[in-house]
Amino acid sequence: GDGSPACYVFHEFHCTDLDLDRYEQAWNLVIARHPMLRTVITADYRNRVADAVPHYRIRRYDLTALPDGQRQARLLELREQLSHRVIRHDRWPLFDVRAAELRDGQLRLFVGIDALICDASSFFLLDRHLREAYADPHTQAPAPRTDFAGYVADTERRRDSPAYARAAEYWKRRIPALPGPPTLPTRPAPGAAPRFVRRSDRLSAAQWEALAAAAARHALTPAAVLLTAYTDTLAEWTGEDRFSVVLTLMDRPLELPDIDQVVGEFTALTAHEVDRRDGGSFLARAARTQQRLFDDLDHRDYSAVDLLADLTAHTGSRARLPVVFTSGLDIGELLGSEPQLEWVGPIVYGISQTPDVWLDHQVYVEGGLLHVRWDILETAVDLTAAETAFAAVMRLLRTLADDPACWHADSAESATADIGEDVTAVWAELLGIQPAGIDSTRGFVASGGDSVSAVRLARRLRSAFGLHLPIREIIAPDFTLTALLARIGGQTIDTVAATGPVTELVAPAACDGPFELTPLQQAYWVGQHDAWTLSYRSAHGYGDLLVSGITDADLPAAARRLVDRNPMLRTVFSPNGTQTTLDPSDAGLAALPVDEVDLRTASSAAAAAEIARIRSDLQRRGPGPEPWSFRIVAVHLPDSRLSLHVVCSLLIADGWSGQLLVSELLTYLDEPNAMLVPQTARFADYVATLAARRRTDEWTRHRQWWLDRVAELPPAPALPVAEPAAGISAELMQRRETRLTPEQFATITTRCTERGLIPSSVFATCYALALARAAGHRHLLLNVLYLDRMALPADLDPVIGPFATTALVPLRLPSSATFTELCGRTQSATAQTFDHALVSGVEVVREIARRHRGAQPVAPVVFHSMLGLRPPADMPESIAVLDSFQSIRTPQVSLDLQVGRSPWQNDAIAVTLDAAADLFAPGAVDAIFDDLCSTLDRLTGDPSAWEAAVTLPAAELPESRARPHGRTSGPLSEGGPLSGPTDHKVAELWARLLSETPDSAAAHYDRATDFFGAGGTSVAAVAMLRQIRDLTGAPVRAGQFLSDPTIGALAAAIDREADPARDQK
């Protein structure tokens, strides 16, 4: 119930004499000195250190002109915003320093840092190095001989040591009798974000000296005395005499040279059992505490983390020890003197927060005083009771210091899991549950899996364990964890089984220079050259956001960092259909595609009109100008609001990448210091991977599977149109949208789990039913768009690029069946397609078009589900999205249904239908969308609707086609040998494009030779027609050529259209 707060430590200082520029310089010096301050955490939980980072700038807030009341309110607002930050671990920096400038040169300094890179001891060390760099910026400190990576390696080495084995045996022997945590009084706040509060006090120098001296007289360590006082208070508070707490220790092995000069996370955790049943005096209890402490510390190599894993395995439920004791008494030993945190000014506020911790008791010495702090998770623990207990522990400590008489008054498996445990952990992770909560007799889908998690499970099983499983098997009802583990144990996995597009990245042979387009990029590129009906000058996605919380943003600087980071934003496309990434220093990239409009003083009506104009203009015009394939317009509005408009070519970014682009842009606007997780892969690597796929036997098998079925594929839905697609010239796709509430989507998810269905299949089936009724036939071809990146390594997660691809799903629905049965058919057909998805839908469409001939789109009805996909990046916490709008313009698509979580409103499921304007008969698209929505309403409102009979049209296929994709009867042009100079020139040009010699081409080409039959592609066709236009002046349109792509027909068209003035050329 307490959620997962970040590991974060925050301090707020009041400074009266701090040179902020000098302090900023000191920070940059220590950043350069300590690698962990240049570190981010990757998705696979590894530290990644950047060799260089941008100059760190302290964000400053000028509060000098504010009246006293407003200034105090703003300071409290900043404290609230900054003290409980959840810093993203995959982007730099993992610390945050800001300053509020007050009157008379005073400052309020806010310093926060993620404990994953800096534990408590390191924070004091970092503070000392900051102090030294501030005092003398020119002093060059020698680099430590050990770094944090060396410490991690030493930690791994110690896990294989005899000491670790002895420690493991010691703790495992105690597991059966080890008590749980103290039962703290709780006051849960359901739904509230985890929030810590601090209560602090101190013993005077005299009291601390007296307490330490008394401990020494009784042969006790101060730490043992303080721990006993804490556990005595817990016992009185909870009424329990046996419980366990966690101790945090500083783990800096002395054998590592200069380890005391390294910043990092050196915290080690050990469990401590409290047993007060023998009673006795405080002195007796403290002596038992110390003996137990010494015994435990002798076996500290086996940490509390290991112990909790074993406890979980032993009990079958998750073990937790959320009550902590943190001693910083040895910090002075590390620093060589007592810490001096308040050299910049007094601490006026501080807090720490840690996952799975409810109460953290912290002690350290500074200025001769013993500082005692309790950080309390107030959203779980009864704060009033905690405050009473804190007061009690302080009274006890003062009594021990002042009154000498009061001292006398009356085993489970190793955490290193085997492969079965690892597979179980992966299963649980992808389902979002704890391993203990797995029902091993329920199928993966019945347990909550969906299409995305099924693909990810296939990827994880293949990459981590070498197990190859087809998607159709994973989503089968009998695919349970028990069955999976049995197959693993029996070694029955087929190592060449089809797995869909799960693969590893292949690096391209060359890092620079042109590289080919992906099949879907080719379709978009060709669609921008009028090669098909329903073509557009630009295929792009558009979106705008109305946001608040961005102040003093430098949009050009943010855009420049975005461009420098993301190679695809610097990519240009040649007339020959290749792509090249420009170097960030290329002169052509000097002028950014960024515009700013200042409407801060405009009226509401004027601002709304200008925003509407910008929205319409960008949707119609698309990105640009060259060499840019995206464009950003920012409109500054009153009340610190910003209307951000982004249009981006589908050639450089799919929809998911578009969201990533916007999230990164907002991150740079919000935090100029931000350095995102480094990119270790490029889109060019993905393109090389696709090329490598096409050279595998598996790809050949997939291709043959499709070739065997192309002739029998059903057609796209024959929807009612106002006029043929060739007769319209739409500039926009019109959008219809509805949203499902979280409760409605939860209902669908529950019904799916009960029936072994995937939610995406439910939406696809609703869509298919509406299409079948509108078209009058129930066998139809659905074009499914999906993100190929989810089947590739996580290296591509932070990369912007067009990773989308397509798969053709032939749906053959019966005339009557229940909705659940129809959904099962859709799911089965989709799984079968995904098991042969190494050959994309674009490539299958290309084969259909080659057989069918003509420029009509083959599969223009699209379904795109992003259910199950996490957002590409979190919104900066200080930015609020007030409103949003999106649209898309896709060539060769007439109808596109998209389902997924609203990117900026994660609690809603958006269902949008984009339709080519002016193509459909009046009311046709509305009828389809209303039909779909009506079915969804029944499914969410009436449980019986899932088993109710659904009646579909009697016709399987439209009357116009019985066998839609068979071969044509023969060439449209007359055959015969090449005759005339134009025939020969066309043949020579084709030979060069298709990597043949002119002589060999003349030997076997004739007037009926088909360009695509000879090995040409649509991209090559567009490039070829461009060359013909340049050579002859004949403007042969791609659509005209596609209707009869033979040498004879093209030569005849050239002779009709050629410019006589170019005959000599």
pLDDT tens digit sequence for 477-536: 888 888 887 666 543 333 223 333 445 677 665 556 899 999 999 888 887 876 567 677
- For the segment 231-248, the average pLDDT, to the nearest whole number, is 91
Which residues make beta-bridge pairs with 733?
Answer: 916
What's the DSSP call for residue 186?
Answer: B
pLDDT at position 504: 63
CATH no. of 8-407: 3.30.559.30
pLDDT at position 751: 92
- The mean of the pLDDT values for the chain is 85
| Cβ-Cβ contacts under 8 Å for 416 (sequence gap 6 or more) | none
Pairwise CA distance, residues 1065 & 1062, whole Å:
5
Residue 353 has pLDDT above 90, yes or no: no
**Residue 244 DSSP SS3:** strand
pLDDT at position 384: 80
Task: Note whether 582 and 571 are within 8 A (CB).
Answer: yes
pLDDT at position 496: 28
pLDDT tens digit sequence for 657-692: 999 999 999 999 988 888 777 787 889 988 988 888
Residue 1063 has pLDDT above 50, yes or no: no
Pairwise CA distance, residues 130 & 28, whole Å:
9
pLDDT tens digit sequence for 874-929: 678 788 889 999 888 888 899 999 998 877 766 789 999 999 878 899 999 999 99
**Residue 109 DSSP SS3:** strand
Residue 936 has pLDDT above 90, yes or no: yes
| Cβ-Cβ contacts under 8 Å for 561 (sequence gap 6 or more) | 668
pLDDT tens digit sequence for 407-445: 987 622 332 234 677 788 888 888 888 888 888 888 888
pLDDT at position 1062: 46
Residue 337 has pLDDT above 80, yes or no: no
- For the segment 777-788, the average pLDDT, to the nearest whole number, is 93
Query: Which two tokens mark 1046?
Result: 């033979």
Q: What superfamily does domain 686-792+800-868+884-951 belong to in CATH?
A: Nonribosomal peptide synthetase, condensation domain (3.30.559.30)
Residue 1064 has pLDDT above 90, yes or no: no
**Least confident piece of the model among 477-481, 870-874, 1003-1007, 1019-1023:** 870-874
What count of other Cβ atoms lies within 10 Å of the Cβ of residue 157?
A: 10
**Least confident piece of the model among 22-31, 50-59, 124-133, 961-970:** 961-970
Do the first three CATH levels of 419-490 and 686-792+800-868+884-951 match, i.e. the same topology? Answer: no
CATH 1.10.1200.10 correct for 981-1062: yes
Task: Note whether 777 and 955 are within 8 A (CB).
Answer: yes
Residue 204 has pLDDT above 70, yes or no: yes
Ramachandran area for residue 624 (φ above 0: left; ψ -120 to 50: alpha; else beta): left
Residue 376 has pLDDT above 70, yes or no: yes
Residue 796 has pLDDT above 70, yes or no: yes
Residue 233 has pLDDT above 50, yes or no: yes
pLDDT at position 396: 93
pLDDT tens digit sequence for 270-286: 999 999 988 889 999 99
pLDDT at position 458: 77
What count of other Cβ atoms lies within 10 Å of the Cβ of residue 311?
A: 22
In percent, the amount of the chain with pLDDT more than 90 equals 47
pLDDT at position 969: 41
pLDDT at position 851: 77
Residue 1001 has pLDDT above 70, yes or no: no
In the structure, what pLDDT confidence band is assigned to residue 819 with cuts at 50, 70 and 90?
very high
Q: What is the pTM of this model?
A: 0.67
pLDDT at position 971: 45
Q: 419-490 is classed in which CATH architecture? A: Orthogonal Bundle (1.10)
Task: Note whether 766 and 740 are within 8 A (CB).
Answer: no
Residue 973 has pLDDT above 70, yes or no: no
Q: 462 or 441, which is more confident?
A: 441
- For the segment 782-807, the average pLDDT, to the nearest whole number, is 83
Task: Note whether 353 and 198 are within 8 A (CB).
Answer: no
pLDDT at position 689: 86
In the structure, what pLDDT confidence band is assigned to residue 1 with cuts at 50, 70 and 90?
very low
Residue 316 has pLDDT above 80, yes or no: no
- For the segment 441-455, the average pLDDT, to the nearest whole number, is 82
pLDDT at position 310: 87
pLDDT at position 1002: 55
**Least confident piece of the model among 241-245, 461-465, 473-477, 886-890:** 461-465
The CB-side HSE value for 819 (13 A sphere, CA atoms) comes to: 25
- For the segment 162-167, the average pLDDT, to the nearest whole number, is 93
Residue 335 has pLDDT above 80, yes or no: no
In the structure, what pLDDT confidence band is assigned to residue 785 with cuts at 50, 70 and 90?
very high
What count of other Cβ atoms lies within 10 Å of the Cβ of residue 218?
A: 16
pLDDT tens digit sequence for 68-114: 888 888 898 899 889 887 788 888 999 999 999 999 999 999 999 99
| Cβ-Cβ contacts under 8 Å for 333 (sequence gap 6 or more) | none
In the structure, what pLDDT confidence band is assigned to residue 463 with cuts at 50, 70 and 90?
low
- For the segment 580-598, the average pLDDT, to the nearest whole number, is 94
Degrees to nearest 5, angle at CA 889 with 903 and 761: 55
C-alpha dihedral over 70, 76, 82, 84, to 10 degrees? -150
What count of other Cβ atoms lies within 10 Å of the Cβ of residue 704?
A: 12
Per-domain boundaries in the chain = 8-407, 419-490, 686-792+800-868+884-951, 981-1062
Pairwise CA distance, residues 647 & 624, whole Å:
9
pLDDT at position 964: 46
